[in-house]
Chain A
Amino acid sequence: MAEAPIIEAHDLHKQFKLSLYQGSLKAMVLSGMRRKTRVVEALRGLDLAVRPGEAVALVGRNGSGKSTFLSLVGRIYLPTCGTLEVRGRVAPLLELGAGFHPDLTGRENIMLNGVILGLTRAQVSEREDSIVEFAELRDFVDAPLRTYSSGMQARLGFSVAIHTDSEILLVDEALAVGDESFQEKCFDRIEQLKREWRTILFVSHEMTDVTRVGTRAVWMEQGRIRMDGDPAEVVDRYLADAHHSP
């Protein structure tokens, strides 16, 4: 493990200022133009180094900062303070369905996402067949995304992400998507990615996924790391804790 970390976070903090106006001028005027904001501390000094080829599972309760950390690695937000270095391209699967546009067709979304994730247009065209094939969406590729079921969207998102050349795959919530046979296909592909020395960072509440896919597990609590180590051990302690403090 002499290789430099591909993701390196030092004393990482992230605060969100939640505005209570919710995008409405009316609400703002009615509240008398006072700035009503609430500060939420999602990350409070996170230190973590992930090396190439690791599959790191993030576990923890809702609001412990797992998704925020993934979004920071995916450059959706800027850290409030601390440093975060990401030394590779990132393919994010944040929440369901990646960054798809509901009004565009499957094919248009593949192109849009492929290029956002750093492929050239020629590369996306080349891989399009294989992406559609893996997602099993041949008959729907020219229909707008809003006509897709959530399972279909998730399959397409997963398929696009694994067909990019990104060194890092971020997965929030749904590691293996679709029905059971499709899930097996996802797990096979994840194993392949691990053999290709790609780095996977995923959030999961499925403890079987954590032990099956993870080479390492990180238990997060209130924006910090509570435990970091072997997936089986982390899961045991985490579950024991969850039972003791409801």
Chain B
Amino acid sequence: MTLRSATSAPRSNGNTLAESLTELWRYRELLLILVQRDLKARYKNSALGFIWSLVNPLVQVLTITFAIEFMLGSDSKNYSAYVLCAMLPWLFFSTGIMDASPSLLFYYNLIRRTYFPRELVPLSFVCANLIHFLLSTSVFLVYLLVLPLVGHLQGHPPDFPILPTAFLLPIPILGLVLLVTGISLFVSVWTLHFEDMRYIADSLLKVMYWLVPVMYFPEMIKEKIPGPKGDLIYNLYMLNPLSGLLTAFRKLTLQPEIMPGSRVPTQPMGATEWGFLAIALLTSTLIVLLGLRYFNTQKWKLAERA
């Protein structure tokens, strides 16, 4: 007979971090099923399911590029690639958090009636979004490789915008996964207690969208505000882990770019940028550890929501 003891010490609020990770590993099949279910629900209702979720950011990026290049006038060759390169990880960040936020409510019926590690619920939505993000990023990278070849066939010299350092992308991807997971663990619990949290998160993400380098180049800050004051603001801006990660995504993938409305090219991935990436990785690790700890203190109270 398989024995599974559920001894609980008096007044124990939950398990240690190591115990909860072991428990997660034991329930890995359940994670697989939850992820499968989410992906299926997302792509079920249309034959072009995955294609549509690629087309949406693409249309958004093309519209923006069109607007900027025609209205501001620009010498950038690959502005849309630059925007898309940060847009895809941004969408993983924002959609991941927005999906995870009501996730405990979504599975509340199960939480009230059966035991399983509750972390799996927000994690499954993060994983489903990660798979989606990896797929769209792969399509994007293939596009960057194929497009110059098409130009080459038409007689132009091949000019690859993609850098070999794109092989280092798993580093910022890891950071982003940690960051999204950590925030999701907090937000999912808060949304269960206060359903308004979902709308608050949505608003905060809309603000955050403009506080990180998706639509513009952070070097513009230094250009607009010269001197030590600009440097300070730039440094503070880059200490946001999401800024550090999105910048790494761009600079590892793409050649330096002439910024719109200026003749100055962006900086390549240098020592400073690696420094900011390292800080972002550390901050993200800290956030995920805090998130797991917070979830552990809360998880036994989830089913007691009156």
The interface size bin for chain A is: 35 or more
Interface flag for A22 (CB, 8 Å): yes
B37 touches A104 (CB 8 A): yes
B109 touches A100 (CB 8 A): yes
Q: Compute how far the CA of A112 lies from the CA of B109 in the bound complex, rounded to whole angstroms.
A: 12
Interface flag for B167 (CB, 8 Å): no
Of B28-36, B79-87, B234-242, which binds chain A? B28-36
Of B176-184, B192-200, B244-252, B283-291, which binds chain A? B192-200
Chain B hits for A231, CB < 8 A: none
B30 touches A19 (CB 8 A): no
Chain A hits for B194, CB < 8 A: 23-25, 28
Chain A hits for B14, CB < 8 A: 78
Contact of A83 among B4, B10, B197 (CB under 8 A): B10
Chain B hits for A23, CB < 8 A: 192-195, 305
Q: Compute how far the CA of A18 lies from the CA of B197 in the bound complex, rounded to whole angstroms.
A: 20
Interface flag for B110 (CB, 8 Å): yes
Q: How many A-B residue pairs have CB under 8 A?
A: 115
Interface flag for B169 (CB, 8 Å): no
B30 touches A85 (CB 8 A): no
Given contacts A19-B306, A116-B30, A121-B29, contact A83 B8 (CB under 8 A): yes
* Shortest Cβ gap from A162 to chain B (Å): 15
The interface size bin for chain B is: 35 or more
Interface flag for B70 (CB, 8 Å): no
Smallest Cβ-Cβ distance to A23: which chain B residue:
B195
- Interface residues in A46-101 by Cβ distance below 8 A to B read 71, 74-90, 92, 94-95, 98-101
Q: Compute how far the CA of A81 lies from the CA of B8 in the bound complex, rounded to whole angstroms.
A: 9
Q: Compute how far the CA of A23 lies from the CA of B196 in the bound complex, rounded to whole angstroms.
A: 9
Q: Compute how far the CA of A28 lies from the CA of B3 in the bound complex, rounded to whole angstroms.
A: 44
B11 touches A87 (CB 8 A): no
Smallest Cβ-Cβ distance to B112: which chain A residue:
A76
Contact of B113 among A25, A98, A104, A108 (CB under 8 A): A98
Q: Which residues of B contact A (CB under 8 A)?
A: 1-14, 29-30, 32-34, 37, 41, 107, 109-116, 192-197, 300, 303-306
Between-chain CB contacts (< 8 Å), 27 pairs: A19-B306, A23-B194, A28-B194, A75-B6, A76-B111, A77-B303, A78-B12, A79-B8, A81-B10, A81-B11, A83-B8, A84-B7, A88-B3, A92-B113, A98-B113, A99-B109, A99-B110, A101-B110, A103-B41, A104-B37, A112-B34, A112-B110, A113-B114, A116-B110, A121-B29, A121-B32, A167-B1
